[in-house]
Chains A and B, each alone.
Chain A
């Protein structure tokens, strides 16, 4: 047995010094040296006696037959190759790994590394799909829409739904890493398919895939090239819907549709330019205004407003307010917008952090009007900091698209 082990290690290494082969064997170097000397000339022994001298296998076929003879009945058990059968438990782990990877790689800062991570996750997903579709996994094309139909025909409804959800996420991720943006009408279609698929999940859990889908779909609404105000409100809306998807998928979906319809796919839409806008002066002297929603949390308590609608869920609200209240809102919205425009830090996290900082300053200034303002501001800032820490897929990589188009 020990002899077979040493000769097998020699066969694997081909050219080696004594230390190297000793690391692969149970035997001590003196014993190994003897075994190798006995295998000469199949293994050429060095002229010198130094441990760093190189041994070399001169006849690999002969050495292998020596290993087989020496190993006799005591071979290392033949390795367990994974089966392609449906009951292979590793495929469950593969699917979960693919789901988590597709969500997690959104947080990878390097676009090049993100592309590799997506390809890796897609490989795992294809291997899971292949066991149902009886096709070599590397022949599957995720973009091929017949996969969905074939799954529906062959797999239990819930499992098929989970796989379809992952395919949808993979398609979005592949598109995203190649910098392709999806037109708004297509985004709405994808959302409708997604809603249908989620409702078919049944007992199947697919939380990372749901999160991944929401992230990737809303990533299409964002762009690094937009004005800071747009980037702030879009990232807050995206982050809030990401968090909501973790608590209540149905509620998140109710928010997602208006978000897509209001914003639309980033390259062609009109960016949000204001944190405060008067929509209409009402006959009773009040105003109907659209305002960045978090500003309402840091108003002094004596200022009242009436909720009217939510044009951009998680970011912009439409309220009816007295003239004095709308003037106050307008002032702090301007203050925030000016501060954001001045900041040299452009990341989404920095914009959120900067917003929290401005809120603290406003609260300190207005604390004389209402001592509850500090508590409410702290609560709002704490939520903002939590949102800033959420890792999201960035906007599609415009550089990758440009490179591909060249």
Chain B
């Protein structure tokens, strides 16, 4: 096999370093939730993950092909894990977990785990958007610093762009190699669901505004609903860790005081308010009301209007909805207005 990165712009040795760890996390995905939980509680588990990082980095720079390199990393890590498991003072739960992880890691395969997750997310998102879906490809890149200040474990972020020469969107997964661990791997499905639900099919393509309450707020809420439904379909074994880290990532992304955090807070609250309106005014059961918000948001995302107009719509979704908006929403729910007409019908305020 050729020794080169499959992603243009990502240096081969960095790719191989990331890939080796991702392959191990993928093999151990059924226990990833426990593994990331134990990092803060067990020095041995933290050290075991550091060993994996050092080994991946050291073999990544070598001349072995990808398959042999991965095998070499796993064999070497197996040795260090076995040494750790011999320690008398090892906590029994950490011992059991490490032992299981060692067994699972032996089954690591050389398929690209990022492409595997992305392909499944894109397939499900295509079903959600139907004919409105646009094809997308995945790129992986490396970032020199974590995406956020602070010590959260999610050393990954993603952006969606439309290269001018292509009709396909390019979802770029940006990984900060030094802090890429099990929590970051488990958060990948949610990150990719966000990109595929919020940005890939968006008709305001090309506009990137992290302070948009529609694109980063209301639609992000919808992406979480989808992720919750899709977690098992995406990967049954990864599902518990993926769900747990999706929730934790959401808290991290809403916690700060940046425009992007505020957009999430406001957009999520707007979605809650809209769901409550469907329950109260349209007498929908909560489950249906949640789906109605999803349906409307997806339709709005496909409307060929500016992001500013969609943000304005979100700005009307306070705890109390203005009467004219309520009329327009009733019209949409009764099938008298489509999403484009709904946006056109909403007043400035």
Contact = CB atoms under 8 A, between A and B. Distances in A.
B269 A90 contact: yes
Contacts of B257: 96
Contacts of A83: 319
Interface in A94-114: 94, 96-97, 100-101, 104, 108, 113
B150 interface: no
Contacts of A122: 349
B286 A78 contact: yes
A90 B266 contact: yes
A20 interface: yes
A76 interface: yes
Contacts of A127: 318
Given A22-B127, A79-B290, A116-B309, A8 B285 contact: yes
B205 interface: no
Nearest to B324: A138
A20 B275 CA distance: 20
Interface residues of A, number: 54
Given A113-B306, A116-B309, A127-B318, A11 B288 contact: yes
B197 to A, nearest CB: 10
Interface in A1-28: 4-5, 8-9, 11-14, 17, 19-20, 22-26, 28
Contact of A76 (B226, B232, B286): B286
Contacts of B127: 19-20, 22-23
A126 B285 CA distance: 31
B292 A12 contact: yes
Contact of B272 (A81, A120, A124): A81
B312 interface: yes
B128 A76 contact: no
B276 A79 contact: yes
A83 B273 CA distance: 10
Contacts of B124: 23
Nearest to B125: A23
A12 to B, nearest CB: 3
Instruction: Report which residue of B213, B315, B320 has the largest number of chain A beta carbons within 10 angstroms of its beta carbon.
Output: B315
A119 B229 contact: no
Contacts of A81: 272-273, 276-277, 319
Given A82-B272, A117-B308, A120-B315, A76 B290 contact: yes
Contacts of B286: 75-79
A191 interface: no
B51 interface: no
B175 interface: no
Interface in B273-331: 273, 275-277, 279, 283-292, 294-295, 306, 308-309, 311-312, 315-316, 318-320, 322-323
B102 interface: no
Contacts of B283: 64
Given A4-B287, A11-B288, A79 B279 contact: yes
A137 interface: yes
Contacts of A76: 286-287, 290
Interface in B193-232: 211, 213, 226, 229-230, 232
B306 A68 contact: no
Chain A to chain B: the 10 pairs with minimum beta-carbon distance, closest first: A12-B291, A8-B287, A81-B276, A79-B275, A123-B315, A23-B128, A138-B322, A119-B348, A82-B319, A23-B127
9 contacts: A9-B287, A14-B335, A64-B285, A75-B285, A75-B287, A78-B279, A93-B261, A120-B308, A123-B349
Given A23-B226, A68-B285, A116-B309, 4 more contacts: A67-B288, A75-B285, A81-B277, A93-B265
